[in-house]
Structure formats: C-alpha cells, structure tokens
Structure 1
Amino acid sequence: MGRRHTQPAMILPRPVHLACTAVMVAVAAAPVAFLLLVSVMPDAESVSGRLWPSRLAVGNYVRLWTTVPMAQGLANSLVVALGAAVLATLAAVGTAYCLVRFTFVGRLVLLRSLVGFQALPGTMLILPLFVVFSSAQAFLGVQLVGSRVGLVVTYLTFSLPFATWVMVVHLRKIPVALEEAARIDGASRLGALLRVILPLSVPGMAVATTFCFLNGWNDVVFSSILTQPETRTAAIELQVFAQSQEGGALPLYGQLMAASVVCAAPVVLLSVIFQRQLVGGLATDGVKG
C-alpha cells in the first residue's frame, strides 16, 4: 500500500483545491471589505445602500473622534484588557508549573476544574459579581463597580483558568531534563524556572496573552454593567454610538464603520506582531530533541 496523503492539496485535484480556497477567502474577506468600503463612504450614499462610494470620504476617520469619545474608550479598553491578560498569563505560568512539576492531593481535581470553568456561561456571574463588588464598596470602602480595577478583576475570573490550561499543555511538552540540567549547574528551582522554562514558554505565553486580551477587548456584557461613562470601553462606546444612530434623520454609518475599523486595528496589530509566537504556540509540538 502506498503512503496515505494527509495534505489537502494531495487529496483534492488542484483546480478543486484552488476553488475551495478562493471560496473560503471570499467568504472571510467580504464582510471586512464591506466594512472598509462603508467607512470611507459619504453618509448619504451608505444609507442608500450603495456598494461602491462615488468618492472617498476619508474625513469619517477624523470626525468620529469628536462625534464619539473613542479615544477614551480605546484607552480604557487597552488598560483593562492588557492588564488582565498580562496578570492572567504571569499567574498562569506559576500555577501551571506547580500543576505539571509537582504531585499533590487535589491536583487532578484542579486540572479538571479548569476545563469545567470554561463551560460556565458568563451571564451567570453578572449578578454575583455585582453583589460582591457592591459589598466590597460598602464594607471595605473599595470602589469596584464603575472602575477599571473592577473590570480587570472580572476578566481575570475568565482569563486565568484558560491561560492556566494553555500553559499546562505547553509546559508538559518541555522536557524535565532541561530543568534538571540547570539544577545540576547550580541554579535553584526558581532560577531554572526563570532562565530555562520561561524563555521556552514564550510561544505558549503569547497564545494565552493574546486570547485573554481578546476576551477583555471584545467584552460587552460585563463592561456595560460594571462601567460608568468615564470608564466605558471601546466596545461600549461603539455600541452606544450604533444605538444612537437608530431612527436618526441621516445615520452616520460612515463614521460608525470607521469607528469599528479603529476598534479592530489594535487586535489586528497585536496578531501581526505576535504572529510567529502564535503559530509556534498553536502548531508546534514543543521542544524537539
């Protein structure tokens, strides 16, 4: 028997493979292309349903900053999403290291609970979190409702289990022999973790940080309840802007789409910067001997 072909290009005829690829690219690119076109389209033409602008209204990207407080929303989103992602990843490295390298009572229960936490719908935690945050303000004098700190704590409740599981999977692929060699050379366990394990964990940390960042950046449910006008995130500002255009005499769809492009730009930039680490963390099989 010949060797089985596992590559799609070898299984499908080349014309069929190219046609399927073209269809998938078109389906994925069509909404993005429409978003970009409407963002540079005059408002009167976007309302009329035209698919191609008669002229480029680049001023939409300039006027949106005065129409909606997008700069403030972007700053709030960057602080809370990046802060929660970095804190979750750093805590996940230490937690995953203990779960992978040590054996203790309750270890398997904790590992399985990480998966179970991901199955809980976030809407179930809205009321408990609000009550806990309100109680903290009443009894401890710490304001969490309406503050950026409250959002960071909220996002950590979802990001930390996911980041820990990602790091557990990644650390399992790092040979213990590398750490033992560092210990023989005189490094402490903490030194081996910082000098050997941590550099080898960069792809996994990039994956965990990126997805945790996306979790906070795209959130609308929690940020709509736990924020006030001064701490609204970009997603909430975009939602409020979209709702204000309903029923208007001339909806500012051009500026709305421009604001959507601006909100998506940081995520795209982050993916481009960490593209190599993301591919390495998602597609490789760890350290190769």
Structure 2
Amino acid sequence: MTTTAAIRPSDGSTAVDRPGSQQQREVTRLLPGWLLVLIAVLLCAAVLLPIVYIGLASFNSDIGVASGEFWPSSWTISNYFTIWTSVGLANGLMNSLIVAGSTAVVSAAFSIGTAYVLVRYQFRGRRTILRALLGLQSIPGTLLVLPLFVLFSSSATYLGLQVIGTRWGLFVTYLTFSLPFSTWVMVTYLRGLPKELEEAARIDGATNLGVLTRIILPLSWPGLVVSAIFAFLPGWNDVLFASVMTRPDTQTAAVALEIFSSATEGGAIPQYGQMMAASLVSAAPVVLIYMFFQKYLVGGLTSGGVK
C-alpha cells in the first residue's frame, strides 16, 4: 500500500509534503511566469495607450494632433471650454443621463419581481418564458430599427401619440432590449439564494410582497447593480436608435459626438482636440459608475448567494 504523504523527519519546517503537489502546480501553470507577465504588460498597454493618447490630444491643438504629435508641443485647456457650445455636449449629456438612467432603474426594478416569480413559482409556460428571455439576446438590434420606427411613427397617426423625437420613446426602445437581459441576470442570481430565509419569513407571517421587499431585495443588491449597469451602458453608448428616434433637443451625447465629428470632417483641419475632450467627458460618467459600484459588480458577477 502506497502512502499519499511524505513526512520530513529532521528539518521540522513542514510536517507533511504531498508528492503530487509540485507536479500539479507545474501542470496547472500552462505558461512560464515571465511570459504571463509579458502578456499582462502587453494587454495593459493595448488598453491604456489609446486612453493616454486621447487624454494628451485633448490638451493639444488641432494642428499638433493632425501632425501626429503624441506629446503636445503646446498645451491648452481651451478644448474643454469650447465643447459645451460647439458640440452641444451639455444637452446631450443631460438627455443621456435621463434616458439611460431611467432605463437602468426601471429595468432593475421590474427584473427582480419578474425573476422572483420565474425562480420561486412553478406554472405552465415558465420554461418557455425563460428560453424566450435567452433567445431575445440573440436578435441583432439593427434588425429592429425599421420595425420600431414604423410602429412608433404609426402611433402618431392612429393614436395621436407622438413617440418619435421624445425622450420617453427612446426610453421604451432601450427598455425593450435591457429588460430581458436584466431579468435573466436576476434569475441566475436568485437561484443561488437559499429558500430557508423565505420560509422563515413566511412562518413569521410575511406575505409574498413582504418576502420580496424585506428578504429578497436586501440580498439582491449586487445582482441589481449588475443588471442596472448593463442596462445603463447600451442606452449611454447607443447611436443607431438614438439618431433615428430623437430630434436636436432630445439627442443624446453619443449622437452629438457623431454629428460634431461628421460636421468637422469637411474642414481643412478637423477639430481633433475638441473631439478628444468631448470623448473623455462623455466617458467620465461610465468610469465613475464602475469605480463607485465596483464591489457590487464583483459580488454580482462572481457570487449568487449568501455566505
């Protein structure tokens, strides 16, 4: 009979040494350490160098950026003051925050109730609904631009309800795509929550609504934050639907940037500095959201229950 552990009799530093542990570590590490470090450095450089270049170009003149300067020869902060009038960024940021923020909040609020019913209750058509939620994610959004535009345009003719060009019309459009995904995220998360907590609350006399608001909701904050952020991002970054379903006073920041870049392409020297500055300002809210909710994101993406 062979032993699975070897005892070191004399040095006293380690009592037991498993003979296969070193071989397992060597097999697990598929790449040598120096190569892992090199790959990590290259990946970080691929991500950070464009951001650094955009930041430096935002403080450079248009001529300097056009000539290919990486480090500005003359520094200026005028680009950050000019974009508020030339790009119309203030109105675009406000519209983006209203539409994308409301989409995130409403999508997260509806998804937790829908996911709770789908996870905790058995009824006919439950599996069909779950499969439909997953199948909706495979439909490209570009295929729905024309049908949605025709549908919303017809509402003004047949119902007297103006949808095209309004913020709430864009909100309904984004909610169409974000709600199925948010519901599926919450379904995955709620499956990991123990039923014993709900049973204990019901023994104490809690209703279904009480269980949802007092037990499920406090335990689901990481999942709610993940679903809300992933519902916020498409609304913030979208250009296709926003360019079709908005007018100048309701256009989002992404559309404002696209219009500004297209309008400056015909000039002798495009206004690169202002475009870089406007891009950084438009990306700042998303970066701040990730930094503020980082711990919830990690918890929501890596765990699905309570410890």
- Shorter chain as denominator, the TM-score bin is over 0.9
Alignment pair present for 1:96 and 2:120: no
Of structures 1 and 2, the larger Rg is shown by 2
Residue in 2 aligned with 1:183? 202
AA at the equivalent of 1:2: G
Gaps of 5+ in 1: none
Q: Which residue of 1 aligns with 2:74?
A: 55
Q: CA deviation at 1:188?
A: 1.3
Q: Which residue of 1 aligns with 2:302?
A: 283
- Whose helix proportion is higher, 1 or 2? 1
Residue of structure 1 aligned with 2:235, choices 216, 227, 231: 216
Tell me how far apart the structure 2 counterparts of residues 127 and 119 of structure 1 sit (CA, whole Å): 18
State the TM-score, normalizing by the size of structure 1.
0.96
Let me know the Cα RMSD of the aligned residues.
1.6
One-letter amino acid of the structure 2 residue matched with residue 102 of structure 1: Y
Shift in Å, 1:287: 1.6
Q: Deviations over 1:206-227 (max 9, x none)?
A: 0000011001000011001000
Q: Which amino acid aligns with 1:257?
A: M
What is the aligned length?
287
* Alpha-carbon separation, structure 2, partners of 1:19 and 1:141: 62
Alpha-carbon shift at residue 12 of structure 1 (Å) = 3.8
Match of 1:131 in 2: 150
In structure 2, the partner of 1:202 is 221
Aligned CA distance change for structure 1 residues 134 and 187 (closer, same or farther; 3 Å): same
Partner of 1:2: 20
Are 2:261 and 1:242 aligned?
yes
Query: Structure 2 vs 1, CA of residues 181 and 220 (structure 1 numbering), >3 Å: closer, same or farther?
Result: same
Aligned AA for 1:157? T
Q: Does 1:16 align with 2:39?
A: no
Q: Distance in 2 between matches of 1:153 and 1:6?
A: 53
Aligned counterparts of 1:176 and 1:164: Cα–Cα separation in 2: 19
Distance in 2, Cα, partners of 1:23 & 1:71:
36
Greater mean alpha carbon deviation, residues 48-57 or residues 108-117: 48-57
Matched letter for residue 191 of structure 2: R
Distance in structure 1 (CA, Å) of the matches to 2:179 and 2:228: 10
Tell me: CA distance 1:22–1:130, structure 2 relative to 1, closer, same or farther (3 Å).
Answer: same
Corresponding residue SS for 2:109: helix
- Code of the residue aligned with 1:147 in structure 2: it is T
Give how far 1:13 is off: 3.3
TM-score between both structures, scaled by the size of structure 2: 0.90
Give percent identity, aligned residues only.
52
- Which residue of structure 2 aligns with residue 85 of structure 1? 104
Going from structure 1 to structure 2, the CA distance change for 1:165 and 1:247 (only over 3 Å counts) comes to: same
Is residue 2:256 matched to residue 1:228? no
CA deviations on 1:104-152 (whole Å, 9 max, x unpaired) are 1110010011111000011111111111111211222221100001000
- Separation (CA, whole Å) in 2 of partners of 1:272 and 1:208: 16
Secondary structure, in 3 states, of the residue corresponding to 1:119? coil
1:7 Cα deviation after fit: 11
Contact 2:193 2:304 in 1 (8 A): no
- Cα separation, partners in 2 of 1:148 and 1:6, compared to 1, 3 Å: farther
What does residue 4 of structure 2 align with? none
Structure 1 pair 98–5 and aligned structure 2 pair: CA distance change class (3 A): farther
Shift of 1:16: 2.2
